[in-house]
Amino acid sequence: MAILLIVTVCVFLMVGYPVAFTLAGTAVLFAGIGLLTGDFDVSNSYFLHGRIYAIMINELLIAIPVFIFMGLMLERSKMAENLLETMSLLFGPLRGGLGISVIIVGALLAASTGIVGATVVTMGLISLPTMIRRGYDPSVAAGAICASGTLGQIIPPSIVLIILADTLSHAASNQGLLGSITINDLFAAAIIPGLILVGAYITYIIYLALFKPEKTPAIPKHERAQISPLELTLRVFKVLLPPLFLILMVLGSILIWAVNPTNAAALGALGAIILAMLSGQFSLPILRDVMQRTLLITSMIMMILIGAAIFIMVFKAFGGDDIIANFFTNLPGNKYTVLLIIMLIIFLLGFILDFIEITVVVVPIIAPILIQMGISPTWLGILIALNLQTSFLTPPFGFSLFYLRGVAPKSIKTRQIYQGVIPFIFIQILMLLAIAYVFRDSIWNR
């Protein structure tokens, strides 16, 4: 029944039914069948309302709508346009300068919005036409935008990390490791890999500029805005300081435990409103639009969380967690083999499921196995986030590719987008392997 439940859910998802209602509806259907056949104990359902109520009052999850509001408000403040224009003035005279600008702006947007789709779409609309007009190879331009957009998966305040922290915290507590992971821990652990990834992306653009300069030309001198060094310096400070201050205020307050993530998100939302006011992009219609979009995205996330709670309860009632645990513990090899296979499964699931579904459906099933083997919940969260980020870049099903395809001009072929992301996929894989090796003593903490 547990295996058939998973198969049925996959079929409905492939047909196109909404994830939240597929999870909950299929689980209720199988629970009803189980009652008729005697395979489902009705007492299992007594705990469901408590789990749903716990989701609704979870203070950590309250940070999600506030961070979403912050990101959407910053998106409306035209921060991305101003950043890209200024970075282009700064790096434009260099070969590859525009590509470096896209990576930096993408990283700043990722640290501001925490939403992959919003970053990729925004960068695709703003920077892709500019890069093509300046003579950039279409595949390089598309790859840089897709890769920088997915940085929102790993750079705090990532929505992925927030949900992962909650999910892994429950998994850890079930293994007797109560309090072993917090969102502060996950944010702190994600900063260094995120910054290294940004540096690796920039290094690749520099490599192209040195050895394949025709793919990343400099902006011609006659097309550059005539601006003095002093004016450029002042403009860089004017454009960079507000978002950097906002990011440091939000993340800094979390990392030094001055406030909890929800309160930090509230500070960020207030700061985003102030930045929008200063940029002249704030009005009641804009506020109404941002609030409505925040409500829609938050409702979708919460419905998936509730649907996943119902699904997990029924799946475990049929003994599904025991089946999964027995499968992995009886695999040939050691704990590294189990970790590798689980990472591969999550990578493949990233083709067909969004990060939220994977985090709230798959992670609760596989995380207890790895935690029991001795993996650190914090580093497991980092590896999963990086893995999903890689999956979102991988053709032909990567979500980041779909986002860019939706806003890219028709002159950009899908094949060119696929070609452009391949080098960045290799960078991601190398990052995963490097983290697994360098931090192996911290990852396996028992």
Extents of the domains making up the chain: 2-443
The SS3 call for residue 288 is helix
End-to-end CA distance of the chain: 35
Q: How far is CA 152 from CA 147, 218, 275, in A?
A: 10, 28, 20
Q: Which residue has tokens 């440091």? A: 248
Counting beta carbons within 10 angstroms of the beta carbon of residue 205, is it exposed (0 to 12), middle (13 to 18) or buried (19 or more)? buried
**One digit per residue, pLDDT tens: the chain, 446 residues?**
888 888 888 788 777 777 778 888 888 888 888 888 877 776 666 666 777 777 777 777 787 788 888 878 877 777 777 777 787 777 777 888 888 988 988 888 777 766 666 678 777 877 888 888 888 899 999 999 989 888 888 888 787 888 888 888 877 776 665 446 778 888 888 888 888 999 999 999 999 999 998 898 887 776 666 677 788 788 888 888 888 888 788 877 777 766 777 788 888 888 888 888 887 788 899 999 989 988 888 888 788 778 877 887 888 788 877 777 777 777 776 778 888 888 888 888 777 676 777 887 788 888 888 888 888 888 888 888 888 888 878 877 677 887 788 778 888 888 898 899 999 999 999 988 888 887 777 766 64
Query: 236 is written with which tokens?
Result: 């860089």
CB-side neighbour CA atoms (13 Å) of 137: 20
- Predicted TM-score (pTM) of the model is 0.80
